Amino acid sequence: MADMSNIGTRPRAQVARGMAANMESLAGVTAESMADELLAGAPKWRVADAVPGLARLPLLVITSGDGLAPQSDTLAKAVRAKGN
């Protein structure tokens, strides 16, 4: 799971380049509009803020070789620490 709030501290041009490389088949958006939405929403999208709610739910965390496993592992540990 990617914690998109981490991207919120990067310069807009850098975020837009990243979005351009990951747009795939999204319609009706540009890399710049995606970057703007991400930068505006980043403070609200912290994965750590979801831990209390996730701790009350059955949770299966599956990772792949995409480089995001450490963030998913951190989430799983935090949820376990809250009693899940």
Say how many CA atoms lie within 13 Å of 7 toward its Cβ. 21
The predicted-structure confidence for 27-82, as pLDDT tens digits, reads as follows 889 999 999 998 999 888 888 899 999 999 999 999 888 888 888 999 999 999 99
Per-residue confidence (pLDDT) for residue 64, from 0 to 100: 85
Predicted confidence band at 3 (pLDDT cuts at 50, 70, 90)? confident
Per-residue confidence (pLDDT) for residue 5, from 0 to 100: 84
Q: What is the pTM of this model?
A: 0.67
Q: Which residues contact 73 (CB under 8 A, 6 or more apart)?
A: 61, 63
C-alpha to C-alpha distance for 45 and 4, rounded to whole angstroms: 6
Domain parsing of the chain, residue ranges: 1-45, 46-84
